[in-house]
């Protein structure tokens, strides 16, 4: 997410883990801004003593060649940051939340740690887990402010103060797109230009857009080519932006240019939600959605298969042509991507991936200097070594900035010899592009970020303590009736008498405290917007 809830998926979407307390050390004093000469002199003094930093990373975990790469990292680091070594602890993404809980409980000395979508980042900040960074950045990492846009840093601010360095990357929400086998376009079952124009005008979830999709489904059924039918999953999770919190889906609606019009609403109470449920129920009855969808462990199991779904949804980045080509290559048959929204959005849920300095760090100054290297061009080679490993062994060089990874594509896997998550280790603008990326991918996402609609809530971090119990109760109801983005219940269309079930769903949500949650979030949004004037 998240950014993407893509890259999501990522894009989007996102599940918050239980936040934990790290014992607090004394606050870092806020020095006056230094001149570049002062910074250089101070940095030289600070690096005079030998220091070993503990760095807890999130990703595929420790791999076969991890230690070899880390040894090379320390050799290279010695030339850039003398008298500094790093001891890495690589934690599997699926285990990170629990591991962080144990580290917090024992007040384990840690210098740098990943934080983001697997944790409650604002909650961690409020509990004192991380060092405030504004003064440290000014003194030891001024280059970060030159190379990472201010709005990116603002994403990691809580109550106006910086507590982590976000991974600079594609920052937009998932832009929903419909995928269809190109053979059905060639047969005239759907006109991608008409579909795209309709989606852009009326939005992904609207009577008009659903009418276009249903016309396509009717033709497929008439020609006995429905295969595994329509897959509703990802569309449901992507058609809203500006989620206030993921527990559950409270969103901001209104005109971004008119703060007075901005209202917090529960996504499940909207007209769009009711339209979605009614339409999917109708399509299920007509046979457009497979009858056993509720019994599937993975409701998306038939997406991208030659004999699978005849329409499915995901995000896109770059041009329609590039994304269609990438999808066709990925699935092994011609696929056409049809975008459903014209504009990208940079929304309020923006603390997906960051590097923080732990409150238990004994060397926050040196840790900040290392973060400076991982987030600026000065440390580009160091960063790429940590992400991609050793040339010739873990990747092949194709050109100056293009590589071909060995043993995996995209992000490294637990069974790869080596390969980390680039977004979890620093500034991805300095990353190599791989065979899994579109041509000029870095420039594409930079341009996409620059042209996106920016949420007025960028940097907003709600305090969930006053509604913690209510959120838990509401989330339990959501799980019972809505399921999850990858395991839909009501939105699957397969629930008998969905109108009655929806009413029951809303009644239980109200009793669980959904209105209290909405009111509290609206209050906090209004207070935040006053600070933006």
Pair (337, 409) in one structural domain: no
Residue 130 DSSP class: B
d(CA 510, CA 266): 11
- 166 in a structural domain: yes
d(CA 100, CA 77): 26
Closest CA to 471 of 439, 403, 424, 518: 518
- 510 in a structural domain: yes
Pair (219, 117) in one structural domain: no
d(CA 338, CA 359): 47
d(CA 273, CA 489): 13
- 23 in a structural domain: no
- 38 in a structural domain: no
**Contact 362/259 with Cβ under 8 angstroms?**
no
Q: Report the domain count for the chain.
A: 4
Beta-bridged to residue 396, according to DSSP, are 404
- Angle 344-240-455 (CA atoms, 0-180°, nearest 5)? 50
Residues contacting residue 522 through CB under 8 Å, at least 6 positions apart: 263, 264
- 26 in a structural domain: no
Q: What is the pLDDT of residue 350?
A: 56
d(CA 192, CA 338): 6
Pair (138, 164) in one structural domain: yes
- 262 in a structural domain: yes
Identify the domain boundary among 379, 394, 422. 379
The dihedral built from the CA positions of residue 54, 132, 5 and 388, taken in this order, carries a sign that is negative
SS3 category, 319: coil
Beta-bridged to residue 161, according to DSSP, are 158
SS3 category, 18: coil
Q: What is the pLDDT of residue 254?
A: 86
What CA–CA distances, in Å, run from 110 to 57, 129, 226, 274?
Answer: 11, 11, 55, 48
Pair (154, 211) in one structural domain: no
Closest CA to 435 of 459, 410, 400, 418: 410
Closest CA to 494 of 483, 479, 503, 504: 483
Residues contacting residue 14 through CB under 8 Å, at least 6 positions apart: 1, 2, 5, 117, 246, 349, 352
Q: What is the pLDDT of residue 349?
A: 58
Q: What is the pLDDT of residue 151?
A: 87
d(CA 79, CA 83): 9
Identify the domain boundary among 379, 394, 424. 379
SS3 category, 430: helix
- 452 in a structural domain: no
Pair (421, 393) in one structural domain: yes
Residues contacting residue 252 through CB under 8 Å, at least 6 positions apart: 242, 244, 262, 263, 264, 348, 455, 457, 525
d(CA 319, CA 444): 9
Residues contacting residue 397 through CB under 8 Å, at least 6 positions apart: 391, 403
What CA–CA distances, in Å, run from 503 to 277, 445, 470?
Answer: 12, 42, 20
**Contact 424/353 with Cβ under 8 angstroms?**
yes
d(CA 162, CA 363): 18
Pair (131, 189) in one structural domain: no
CA 336 from chain centre, in angstroms, equals: 25
Residue 358 DSSP class: B
Pair (270, 135) in one structural domain: no
Q: What is the pLDDT of residue 47?
A: 64
Q: What is the pLDDT of residue 6?
A: 37
**Contact 85/370 with Cβ under 8 angstroms?**
no
Q: What is the pLDDT of residue 307?
A: 96
Pair (276, 374) in one structural domain: no
Pair (183, 247) in one structural domain: no
Burial of 504 (0-12, 13-18, 19+ CB in 10 A): middle
d(CA 238, CA 10): 9
Instruction: Label the pairing between strands 165-166 and 395-399.
Output: unpaired
Pair (209, 329) in one structural domain: yes
SS3 category, 88: strand
**Domain containing 396: what range?**
385-441
SS3 category, 60: strand
- 408 in a structural domain: yes
Residue 427 DSSP class: -
Q: What is the pLDDT of residue 40?
A: 44
Residues contacting residue 123 through CB under 8 Å, at least 6 positions apart: 19, 464
Q: What is the pLDDT of residue 11?
A: 33
**Tens digit of pLDDT for each residue in 109-158?**
999 999 998 998 888 998 999 999 999 999 999 999 999 998 899 889 98
Residue carrying structure tokens 């060089």: 397
d(CA 524, CA 531): 11
Which CATH number covers residue 105?
3.40.190.10
d(CA 297, CA 55): 36
Low-confidence ranges of the chain (pLDDT < 70): 1-47, 174, 246-248, 348-351, 533
Q: Report residue 138 as tokens.
A: 């000014």
Pair (280, 198) in one structural domain: no
Pair (362, 374) in one structural domain: yes
Closest CA to 140 of 22, 28, 57, 25: 28
């Amino acid at each position: 997410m998240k950014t993407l809830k893509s890259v999501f998926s990522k894009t989007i979407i996102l599940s918050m883990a239980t936040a934990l307390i790290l014992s607090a050390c004394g606050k870092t004093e806020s020095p006056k801004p230094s001149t570049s000469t002062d910074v250089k002199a101070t940095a030289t003094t600070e690096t005079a003593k030998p220091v070993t930093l503990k760095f807890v990373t999130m990703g595929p975990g420790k791999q076969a060649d991890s230690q070899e790469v880390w040894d090379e990292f320390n050799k290279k680091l010695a030339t850039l940051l003398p008298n500094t070594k790093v001891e890495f602890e690589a934690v599997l993404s699926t285990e990170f939340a629990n591991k962080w809980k144990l580290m917090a409980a024992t007040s384990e000395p840690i210098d740098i740690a990943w934080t983001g979508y697997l944790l409650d980042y604002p909650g961690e900040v409020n509990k004192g887990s991380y060092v405030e960074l504004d003064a440290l950045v000014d003194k030891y990492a001024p280059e970060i402010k030159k190379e990472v846009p201010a709005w990116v840093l603002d994403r990691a601010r809580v109550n106006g103060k910086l507590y982590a360095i976000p991974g600079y990357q594609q920052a937009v929400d998932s832009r929903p797109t419909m995928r269809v086998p190109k053979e059905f376009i060639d047969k005239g079952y759907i006109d991608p230009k008409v579909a795209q124009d309709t989606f852009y005008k009326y939005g992904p979830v609207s009577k008009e857009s659903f009418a276009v999709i249903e016309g396509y489904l009717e033709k497929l059924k008439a020609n006995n080519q429905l295969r595994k039918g329509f897959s509703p999953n990802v569309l449901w999770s992507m058609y809203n932006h500006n989620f206030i919190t993921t527990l559950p889906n409270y969103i901001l609606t209104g005109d971004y240019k008119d703060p007075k019009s901005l209202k917090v609403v529960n996504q499940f109470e909207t007209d769009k939600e009711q339209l979605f449920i009614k339409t999917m129920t109708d399509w299920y009855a007509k046979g457009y959605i497979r009858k056993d969808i509720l019994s599937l462990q993975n409701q998306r199991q038939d997406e991208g298969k030659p004999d699978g779904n005849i329409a499915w949804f995901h995000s896109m980045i770059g041009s329609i042509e590039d994304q269609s080509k990438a999808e066709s290559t990925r699935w092994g048959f011609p696929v056409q991507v049809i975008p459903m929204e014209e504009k990208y959005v940079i929304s309020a849920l923006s603390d997906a991936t960051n590097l923080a300095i732990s409150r238990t760090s004994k060397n926050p100054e040196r840790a900040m200097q290392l973060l400076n290297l991982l987030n600026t061009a000065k440390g580009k080679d160091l960063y790429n070594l940590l992400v991609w490993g050793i040339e010739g062994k873990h990747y092949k060089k194709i050109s100056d900035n293009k590589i071909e990874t060995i043993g995996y594509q995209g992000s490294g896997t637990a069974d790869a010899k080596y390969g980390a998550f680039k977004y979890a280790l620093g500034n991805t603008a300095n990353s190599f592009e791989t065979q899994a990326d579109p041509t000029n991918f870095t420039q594409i996402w930079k341009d996409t970020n620059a042209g996106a609609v920016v949420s007025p809530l960028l940097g907003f971090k709600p305090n969930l303590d006053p509604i913690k119990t209510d959120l838990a109760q509401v989330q339990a109801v959501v799980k019972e009736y809505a399921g999850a983005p990858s395991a839909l219940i009501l939105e699957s269309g397969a629930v008998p008498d969905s109108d009655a079930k929806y009413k029951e769903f809303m009644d239980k949500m109200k009793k669980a405290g959904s209105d209290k949650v909405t009111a509290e979030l609206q209050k906090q949004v209004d207070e935040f917007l006053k600070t933006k004037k």
